[in-house]
Amino acid sequence: MLWGKTASDTMAVRGSVTTDADGTPVPQAAGDGAVRTAVADAIVQLYKRTRGAGPTRVRATWVGRDAITVLLEDTLTPQERTLAQAGHARQVQETRGLLHVAMTGEARAAVEAITGRRVRACVSGLDPDDGFATETFVFHAADGDGGPPHAA
């Protein structure tokens, strides 16, 4: 199953293989599924609190050694959906950009607490036509290897 109804359901059912750019598998920590689930859940809760509703589907996965991306589906509020359908997708993206700036500090703090890594950058994206969003957290290299916490 590629997508589940909640982060917990998705992470319990599906893991992901993380690879470097050359396709070499990156060792993952023993509790990595729990880390990804916690990150996904934290972002879902932040979306619910800041937007009034959360996504219907979510998945978090490591991107190489130094980033984790949360993929969120069906994130538009009814108002945003109405605006996008009326040809105002750009305004929806601009508003989401302002929300991203407002929530970045809290998102960074949550991800840092969960992963034990310092966030270097937080990048957000939205396709306003279907409500698909991403939240990517890029980490400072840890202990010289840059891998997920406790990676072998």
pLDDT along the chain (152 residues), means of 10: 37 40 50 89 95 92 94 95 95 93 96 95 94 96 55 43
**Separation between Cα atoms, residue 6 and residue 57, nearest integer Å:** 6
User: Sheet holding 119-127: strands in order across?
Assistant: 57-62, 67-73, 132-139, 119-127
Q: Do 42 and 122 contact (CB within 8 A), yes or no?
A: no
Give the tens place of pLDDT for each residue, 71-82. Answer: 999 999 999 999
User: Which residue segments constitute the domains of the chain, with CATH numbers given?
Assistant: 7-139 (3.30.980)
CA pair distance 87, 138, nearest whole angstrom: 33
pTM: 0.74
Beta bridge partners of 26: none
- Tens of pLDDT, residues 22-38: 555 454 554 688 999 99
CA dihedral 25, 36, 33, 56 (to 10 degrees): -120
How many angstroms separate the CA atoms of 152 and 132, rounded? 33
Burial class (CB in 10 A: 0-12, 13-18, 19+), 128: buried
Q: Which residues pair with 68 in a beta bridge?
A: 62, 137
Bridge partners for 73 per DSSP: 57
